[in-house]
Structures are given as structure tokens and as C-alpha cells.
Amino acid sequence: MATQGDAALAGCATWQRTALMIAARHGQDDVVSRALETSCTQPQLDVVDEQGNTALMIAAREGHKKVVDMLVAAGADLAIQNLEGQTAADLAHTEEIRAVIKKGEAQAEALLRTIMAMAKKEEDSMPAASGSAGSAGSEAIAGLKGLEMPKELMALVGEMDMPRFAAESPY
């Protein structure tokens, strides 16, 4: 026979799908940090629950600024919308949390503009290819690997508060 407490726990478990989401919901920044450190890739970062909420959205909604800081720095997608069309910034519990997300959005936009400018500069400096026009763009992007980062990009990266997470699990 199910009790009222069981029903409350079942409801909680139905929308918290990953350990990262659960830690974000409860503001467990040490667990979030460990999850980010041991993740070889970041697919769990933008996983959504059945309402379309990510761990970032959950942390923002619940008011856990430190967790929001960590998820933004780890590269969480700030533009994802839940089933109600809301982003993490829309769900932010406080203006301080909303400002953290907005700053992350501005940094991502500036980074994208810089990368696109670098690609355009590289494409413009390449000799005309006899191949298709579509291949020139991909060649320009591939050519970026050998370029040194411009001062603007280095300054932008230097401004980001990005903790250094391990690339591999210690286990």
C-alpha cells in the first residue's frame, strides 16, 4: 500500500532523470563539480527531463547560483527552451542568477563572432579553389587549427571563469 510520502517521492523522481539534474535540484555543488570532472564528454550537460528542463534550468529555478556558475562555465547550452518555451534565464530564481546566465550568453556570442571573423579572414586569404563553393568554407574552418588565437579571443577566454575539469575519469 502506497503512502502519501511514497507519492511525494515518486513525483520527485519522475522529473529528475540524471544524477546531474538531482544534484542541481538540491544545490549539491560538490556533486555537480565531481560529475563535470569525471565526464569524458558533456552529453549529460544538456539532457532534458520530460518537461524539457536541463540541469542548468533546474539549478536556476531553484536558486542555486554556485551550481549555475559551474554549469555555465562547463558549457551548458544557454539557449535550450523547455516545453513551455522558457530558457534558464527565464526560470532564474533571482536577478543575480539571471545575470550569470546573461553574462554567459554574451561571452558565447562574442566567442562565436570572433571565431566566425577568424574563419572569414582565413577564407578571404585562401586562393580560389577549383572545387565547390561549399568546400571553401570547410577548408577555412579546418585551416583555423593552425592559426594563433587573436588578442581579442585570448582576452575573451581570459575573462571567462572556467574551472579546469579533468578530461578523463580517475576510475
Q: What nine digits make up the cell of 113?
A: 563572432
Q: Is the pTM of this model over 0.75?
A: no
pLDDT of 156 above 80: no
CB neighbours of residue 24 within 10 Å: 30
* CA distance to 24, 52, 106, 153, per residue, from 16 (Å): 10, 11, 29, 37
Residues 40-58 pLDDT 10s: 665 678 889 989 999 999 9
Residues 132-149 pLDDT 10s: 444 544 444 444 444 455
Backbone conformation region of residue 150, classed left if phi is above 0, alpha if psi is from -120 to 50, else beta = beta
Contacts of 168 (CB under 8 A, 6+ apart): 40
Residues 86-133 pLDDT 10s: 999 999 999 999 999 999 999 989 988 998 888 888 778 776 554 444
- Fold observed for domain 15-159: 1.25.40
Q: Where are the domains of the chain?
A: 15-159
8 A C-beta contact, residue 68 and residue 36: no
